[in-house]
Amino acid sequence: MKKISAIVFLLCIYASTYAQPANDEPCGAIALTPTTATTLPTTCTPATVLTWTGATNSTTSPLPNCGSWSTAKKDVWYKITVVAGVDSILINTSAGSGATPTTDAVMILYSATACDGTFTQLACVDDVLGSSMPLIKTAIPNAGVYYIRICDYSLSANGNINICVNLKQQHPTIDPTKRVGIGTANPEYNLDVNGTTKVRSDLTIDNITKTKDLTITNNVKIEGGSPAIGKVLTSDAAGNATWQEKSSNGGVGFGSWGDCSMNNVSEYNPIPEEDSLYNSQLGASVYISGNYAISGAPNFSKVGAPLLGSANIYQYNDGKWLLYKNILNQDGKANDRFGKSVMISADYAIIGSPYDDIGTNNLSDEGSVSIFKLEGADWVFMQKIVDASGSAGDGFGWSVSISNNKIIVGSPYDDVGTNINQGSASIYNLIGSTWVLMQKLTQSSGVQNDQFGYSVSISGNSAMVGIPFKDVGTNTDQGIVINYQLFGTWYESAILTDINGLGFDNFGKAVSNSGEYAVVGAPWTDIGSNIDQGAVFTYKYLPLNTGGGLALMNKLFDINGVTNDNYGSSVCINDNLLIVGVDIGNSTTQGSAVMYQRVGLQWRKVQKVLDPGSGNNDNFGISVGIDGINKRFLIGASFIGSVIFGKLNL
């Protein structure tokens, strides 16, 4: 009897052992046929029966990140092939039949390079909507083969499960071996359209034979040839078109400056911001020098760091301006507004960050300035300067300027004694490879809220500091500019203001000097009955032996200007050229810029420019820069996060 019992025991073991299914590992995954439609249902009713019997645990990583995986789980594998145009998937399961049906499972969706390659988990679901059987509804990143891993939670199931798969395809798939006719029952081509066809978005054409007129009102992409930024498509006598470099004359480039009223400018070259969470205010500050230019984007934001700020350096190469490098604050934080002010000169670029928190105490909004140097083909970080005697809220770096080996930095919210926001400006000198504080400037007769240093400019041994909120007599916020000359130390050589000025003119809100000439913007100056139309004042430096003062040359304004233009909101003078920003420009805040050339002792208007691609509220002209040598200019339009390059044809 003992021998008979042993035989019965062995038979029981054999009866409870099942063969391992083919789809126990990914390379044996069973292909499923999904239902495809242009919409994805909320759920689907599982119908296809899948076997579980004999499943073991596979070692494929990564392991699921849902449910409990302290012990191995039985799993089986399935796969689906997704074609182009599919953007989402729905997979639902339900308990099946069998001796011990699965009633509690976990489902995982993977993408993979191959069945034995690298797996990436896209979704993992344990229980859903009170059910112990999983449902997955998720996005599909691209076409390819996707793997479904279903794991038994109880370890005991040997029955079946039910499954259904739905795919959502954006566009219908057309069999490439068939012909499609629209408006014709006998198509002669793969796509044969008889009638009017409207293209509502981008159209890519690889090869086209013209037998009828083709009218397209949106973008066209032509494959082949040698396209590049700035090239134009031209035709020979036989109608063969090729990509050619654009001419250096006329209204060419990335568009046109418009009609014949703007025929003195060319090389229209806009470059927008493309990498910020929202409007970066690219173009809030700009400068151009030789083959390099810089623009600040003080509202540039990244995830977790709003208003971090950034600056872009551009290079002129092969007839066009291109982004060369994007720069962030070395130790930047949210709300630093890095890029509020910028300037570039020779091998140095400086970037102001007036809301930078400084020191171990993180003095809020004390501010800083970062200096970068061109070494070889790269702009590398050189030094970060701060006001050693600064305090919270100073706004150091609100304005910056550089000339050769000298830098001036405005700090308009610096408290001087008990005078809140009187302001200061600091001048640094390059000694060896280090920028060292040379002198800190304040006005001895200054009072609170003057905002000395709101604007600054330096050229050689002459420095200008704008104080646009300085009261003049009884005129509140009329504004003044102080000029300093270097003679051992920096001394006050002249105080400039509009002798006919009124309250709230904000004379000195923008300043610029270059060599023997200087310019001051007073954007809220009233012209006739036009309130806040704005004006600009040009000056010539007098010989140093006469005290180093400045003589007024011209008061400039737009004879066709209107109320609230803000003419002079930004200015830049270089060599014999001057550009003036009009960031409001009209009631729609589109903005404009006006360029002048010096002829003798007069500044003659050369061209007023608008952005041909602009619209309302662009603030085109909120910042301006011009290079008097190569006659190229740069204009910021911060409300749309863009900078626009061009060339003055003189």
- Predicted confidence (pLDDT) at residue 16 exceeds the cutoff of 50: no
Sign of CA dihedral 301, 304, 308, 314: negative
What per-residue confidence (pLDDT) applies to 247?
Answer: 43
413 falls within a domain: yes
Higher pLDDT, 519 or 125: 519
Same domain, 148 and 294: no
The pTM of the full predicted model, rounded to 2 decimals, is: 0.63
The residue out of 118, 139, 169 marking a domain boundary is: 169
Contact status, residue 79 vs residue 47, Cβ threshold 8 Å: no
Mean pLDDT of the chain: 85
pLDDT at 600 over 90: yes
Q: Which pLDDT score is estimated for 517?
A: 98
User: Which has the minimum average pLDDT: 10-24, 231-245, 372-386?
Assistant: 10-24
Instruction: Pick the more confident residue, 252 or 166.
Output: 166
CA triple 434-435-441, angle to 5 deg: 160
pLDDT value of residue 431: 98
* pLDDT confidence tier of residue 153, bands split at 50, 70 and 90: low
307 and 164 both lie in a single domain: no
465 phi, psi to nearest 5 deg: -130, 120
Q: Is residue 592 part of a domain?
A: no
pLDDT at 248 over 60: no
- Rounded CA-CA distance 643/576 in Å is 23
pLDDT of residue 261: 64
- pLDDT per residue over 349-398, tens digit each? 999 999 999 876 666 899 999 999 999 999 999 999 999 999 999 999 99
Report the range of poorest mean pLDDT among 109-123, 183-197, 242-256, 337-351: 242-256
pLDDT value at 492 more than 90: yes
Q: Please determine, for residue 460, whether its predicted confidence score (pLDDT) is greater than 90.
A: yes
Any domain includes 369: yes
Of 498, 513, 616, nearest to 554 by C-alpha is 498
* Confidence tier at 250 by pLDDT (50, 70, 90): very low
Give whichever of 39-48, 220-229, 466-475 has the largest mean pLDDT.
Answer: 466-475
Once rounded to an integer, what is the mean pLDDT over residues 155-176? 72
Match 């409870």 to its residue by tokens.
16
> What are 311-350's pLDDT values in tens digits?
999 999 988 999 999 999 988 899 999 999 999 999 999 9
Residues 21 and 54 sit within 8 Å (Cβ to Cβ):
yes
Closest C-alpha to 99, from 26, 29, 154, 163: 154
pLDDT higher than 60, residue 7: no
Spatial distance between the Cα atoms of 633 and 517, rounded to a whole number of angstroms: 18
**CA-to-CA separations, 644 to 231, 308, 636, in angstroms, rounded:** 17, 23, 6
Q: How confident is the model at residue 277 (pLDDT cuts 50, 70, 90)?
A: low
**Chosen domain end from 428, 443, 458:** 443
The answer, yes or no, to whether residue 521 has pLDDT greater than 50, is: yes
Residue range(s) defining the domain that contains residue 361: 284-443
- List the end-to-end C-alpha distance of the chain, in Å, as a whole number: 118
pLDDT of residue 383: 98
From CA 258, how far away is CA 262, in angstroms rounded?
6
CATH number at residue 24: 2.60.120.1050
Establish if 122 belongs to a structural domain. yes
Top pLDDT among 207 and 35 is at 35
Say what the pLDDT of residue 9 is. 39
pLDDT bracket for residue 208 (50, 70, 90): low
- The 3-state secondary structure of 306-345, one letter per residue: CCCEEEEEEEEECCEEEEEEEECCCCCCCCCCECCEEEEE
CATH number of the domain that residue 288 is part of: 2.130.10.130
On whether residue 43 sits in a domain, the answer given is: yes
Same domain? 36 vs 163: yes
Are 165 and 302 in a shared domain? no
- The strand pair at 620-627 and 642-648 is best described as unpaired
Interval 427-447 mean pLDDT: 98
What is the token pair recorded at 583?
């960031």
Phi, psi of 546, rounded to the nearest 5 degrees:
-105, 5
Distance CA 128, CA 57 (A): 23
Do residue 146 and residue 288 come from a single domain?
no
Whose tokens are 């150091």? That residue is 396
User: What is the domain count for the chain?
Assistant: 2
Sign of CA dihedral 468, 469, 475, 476: positive
Instruction: Name the pLDDT band for 555 (thresholds 50, 70, 90).
Output: very high
Cα separation of 208 and 203, whole Å?
12
292 plus 439 within the same structural domain: yes
Q: Does 301 share its domain with 438?
A: yes
pLDDT for 430 beyond 90: yes
Q: Say whether pLDDT at 457 is over 90.
A: yes
If you average pLDDT over each of 18-22, 316-320, 432-436, which comes out highest?
Answer: 432-436
Q: Would the pLDDT of 421 be above 80?
A: yes
Give Cβ neighbours of residue 74 (< 8 Å, ≥ 6 apart): 52, 55, 56, 57, 151, 152, 155, 157
Q: Which helix (H) or strand (E) holds 515?
A: none
Higher-confidence position of 150 and 239: 150
- What is residue 12's predicted lDDT score, i.e. its pLDDT? 38
Please report whether residue 148 resides in a domain: yes
Is residue 131 over pLDDT 70? no
In single-letter form, the type of residue at position 224 comes to: G
Pick the last residue of a domain from 132, 150, 169.
169
Interval 268-272 mean pLDDT: 92
Give φ, ψ of 320 to 5 degrees: -155, 155
Whether 552 is in a domain gets the answer no
The per-residue pLDDT for 42 is 73
Determine the Cα–Cα distance for residues 333 and 106; give it in Å rounded to an integer.
42
Task: Examine residue 333 and state whether it is found in any structural domain, yes or no.
Answer: yes
Share of the chain above pLDDT 70, in %: 79
